[in-house]
Amino acid sequence: MSEAFTTVREGDLDLLIIVDHASAHVPDDIDLGIDPALLREHIAIDIGVAEVSQLLAAQLNCSAILAGISRLVIDLNREEDAPGLLPVMSDGHAIPGNRDADLAERMRRFHHPYHKQGAAMLDGMTSPFILSVHSFTPRLASDPAQQRPWDIGILYNQDDRAARIAIPMLEAAGLNVGDQLPYSGQLLNATMNRHAEANGIPYLGIEMRQDLVADAAGQRRFADLLGPIVLECRNRLS
């Protein structure tokens, strides 16, 4: 058992669900210096992703790796030399406990074990496919005028093979789909760059709008919508 991650193993399908921001947990020996209420907000956790991912793992008979700590402790979806690894500000909120934090220790304790486990799970697959699951807030406190109308976003860097399959299927299901929105995978794609693109492994990166997956009904709806689409991508590309 690792404090850096939890794993779900529901079957033998060569498909790994990776969930970088699945948890709001802050270990007892780490003081971020923030109001604990912020740990329920999007700056600390991608709301709904853990539940949707667990439903998908059961539906698709596959495995998943979910982060065991908050992105405010260390952001697992950042390159090892990225300035945002230990955020000192997030959507207008100061994170004072990170100003003098020991980056090397948090890397050793959380970042390295998480990515080592993900790589090991992929190494055990003959023909792997990755689903990367994130969620986005419909409104940023630091930029309230920004419009974020999409139900789901599809992100990628250079490898858009699964995106080209998934986007029309999601649109046909009635979703408002953002292609490289609300973020661009050419800028924010560290985990997929590392585990997928660097190794030629096909993948689908999704961003679900958080208010649509904030409760059990929304989580089930998205899992039911995504399951067949993810499986189609995997079957066509792996």
Nearest CA among 25, 118, 125 for reference residue 64: 118
- In the chain, what are the domain boundaries? 5-237
User: What's the pLDDT score for residue 143?
Assistant: 78
Task: Specify the DSSP class assigned to residue 233.
Answer: H
Instruction: Please name the amino acid found at residue 219.
Output: Q
Question: What pLDDT sits at residue 147?
Answer: 85
The answer to whether 17 and 32 have CB atoms below 8 angstroms apart is no
Order of strands across the sheet with 203-209? 5-9, 63-67, 15-19, 129-136, 203-209, 152-155, 177-179
User: Per-residue pLDDT tens for 149-208?
Assistant: 999 999 999 999 999 999 999 999 999 999 999 989 999 899 999 999 999 999 999 999
The b/e string for 172-195 (b: 16+ C-beta within 10 A; e otherwise) is eeebebbebbbbebeebbbbbbbb
Q: Which residues face 209 on adjacent strands?
A: 136
pTM of structure: 0.97
List of E strands, 114-226: 129-136, 152-155, 177-179, 203-209
Residue 204's pLDDT is: 98
pLDDT beyond 80 at 1 = no
Q: Between the CA of residue 114 and those of 5, 7, 77, 233, what are the distances in Å?
A: 6, 10, 11, 25
Give the residue among 227, 157, 169, 224 at the shortest CA–CA distance from 197: 157
Tokens at 228, concatenated = 């067949």
Residue 140: CB partners within 8 Å, gap ≥ 6? Answer: 91, 146, 148
H helix count then E strand count, the chain: 6, 9
pLDDT at 19: 98
Looking at every residue in the chain, the average pLDDT score rounds to 96
Q: Report pLDDT digits (tens) over 63-121.
A: 999 999 999 999 999 999 998 899 999 988 999 999 999 999 999 999 999 999 999 99
Let me know if domain 5-237 sits in CATH 1.10.540.10.
no
Instruction: Find the length of the chain.
Output: 238
- The confidence score (pLDDT) of residue 139 equals 84
